[in-house]
Structure 1
């Protein structure tokens, strides 16, 4: 069966507003921030492994494991930004933009797995306590705190709405908390000799890591399954367009989803009133979607009313 889809001037009235931009300054900035944070994290992870083995501290080894995971996660985040800059092609009409959402999802899962590992190790340490060298723990933990503070503010200065960057930021925040916990454990061990503080504080850090992991995983999963973006509920779009566009008799078949957290997409059908100019109505719908809902990529079909 032949299908006649006329665009721009056809009677079916299909209109597509497609915007394929060059790599944004925000993306390039975020990529550089993530690359530097990844390098910092990886280099200091080596020092933490050495310090953890020498001191016997689970807090340090857990933080080192976290930093190793983070180095990989930050590298994945960097790859996400890098691929997102590639233009669209015949096989990927939207380019690689969504890869950074996939990277954020993987990072979220990695956070949850890491938290579970820390808890299991901590429980084993509580059952079978091991001696910890407080002075070595303190020295490495303080150095780690300084490195993590630098990485944290480096990432925190980037785009706060970028899920990929936020996933990387949560990893570094977990590292920072791990360093604080290690310092606290060192103080307690050096002053009281109470060894269980080391695994107990590790569990606290794991709980905080879970919060970030759940948040990043749920938000990125919502985008990956093409859930409706916040503020783009179809009922609200329908009510707004029907109320503000004189030429629209009804608005139906509304679908709203997102390519990335910063690029919402909408498709919908509009039935025009008698005498309304289809092209003008289509453009009016696009203008309203951009103005009211910040949607710059929409596919609008305008139909004549059924006689």
Structure 2
């Protein structure tokens, strides 16, 4: 016997996420133009690196928008779970872009340190542009802060905006050093700091993507505890073939074979047990999509022989 429950509001959530991503994309694009112009006029490598990061963010936000739109498509006979995994692939692309960007920034920063040449950085202009970027990123982060908790794809965009905000702060510090001391090497050091800041977040995002694609149990989900709850249900004799995975962040899926005593199967209590089990998964573990196969005691041995 099987029972399925799916959360309502997935379409509403997707539409809301798309609006937030579109707004963040607009903010990022405007700041990108400002940073590119400021980097060219000031000669700042750190500001150019931050502008490149903003460009990457704009591309990543476009990927995220496409992914959320695809994920909102309904399930069909071929893709019975729908297209929610599109969010995961969007996050994968974001992570790869972040790592490639950090490598580029690191190479450019080291080259600037080894051979600074006759580079002159306009610290004042660099400072003004960096402050503009900091304020814009703060607004974008605020917009995405709630949605990133439930969507791995939005979280990818959120992490990139967070990286931009910290990057802008680093550029501000370097600009202040240049303005007050005239030490131009601060610009290259700021570039290396931005690269070092990006890598851990990118790796963390890719690790989460890998966990989803490997169909590991969601973080914070304790299979042993779920098994204990099921076994504590009146009429349940045993449970086996327990599986918990997630389609994307915030979309856990559960299945299990539950052995029910013969009396419960005969007197019609099986339907009540099924409702109890599903409510347990939904109420205690936030699993809205669960599938249970109820079996009589002798059915397990039959499956094992098969």
TM value normalised by structure 1: 0.89
Matches within 5 A, 1:232-243: 232-242=221-231
- Of stretches 14-23 and 203-212 in structure 1, the one that deviates more from structure 2 is 14-23
Q: CA deviation at 1:250?
A: 0.4
Q: Which residue of 2 aligns with 1:35?
A: 22
> How many positions carry a matched residue from both structures?
293
Q: Which residue of 2 aligns with 1:297?
A: 289
CA contact (8 A) 1:170 1:209 kept: no
Q: Please list every run of at least 4 consecutive aligned residues from structure 1 whose deviation after the TM superposition is greater than 6 angstroms.
A: none
Q: Which residue of 2 aligns with 1:206?
A: 195
In structure 2, how many angstroms separate the alpha carbons of the residues matched to 1:134 and 1:230? 45
> Structure 1 residues 229, 158: CA separation in 2 closer, same or farther (over 3 Å shift)?
closer
Structure whose residues are more often helix by fraction: 2
Q: Which residue of 1 aligns with 2:95?
A: 108
In structure 2, how many angstroms separate the alpha carbons of the residues matched to 1:98 and 1:218? 16
Q: Which residue of 2 aligns with 1:218?
A: 207
Q: CA deviation at 1:216?
A: 1.6
Matched, 1:274 2:262: yes
CA contact (8 A) 2:102 2:199 kept: yes
TM value normalised by structure 2: 0.89
CA contact (8 A) 2:148 2:158 kept: no
> Structure 1 residues 232, 149: CA separation in 2 closer, same or farther (over 3 Å shift)?
closer
Q: CA deviation at 1:116?
A: 1.8
In structure 1, how many angstroms separate the alpha carbons of the residues matched to 2:230 and 2:223? 11
Q: Which runs of 5+ in 1 are unaligned?
A: 1-13
Q: CA deviation at 1:167?
A: 1.2
Matches within 5 A, 1:1-307: 14-19=1-6, 21=8, 23-129=10-116, 130-242=119-231, 244-277=232-265, 278-306=270-298
Once superposed, what is the RMSD of the aligned Cα atoms?
1.9
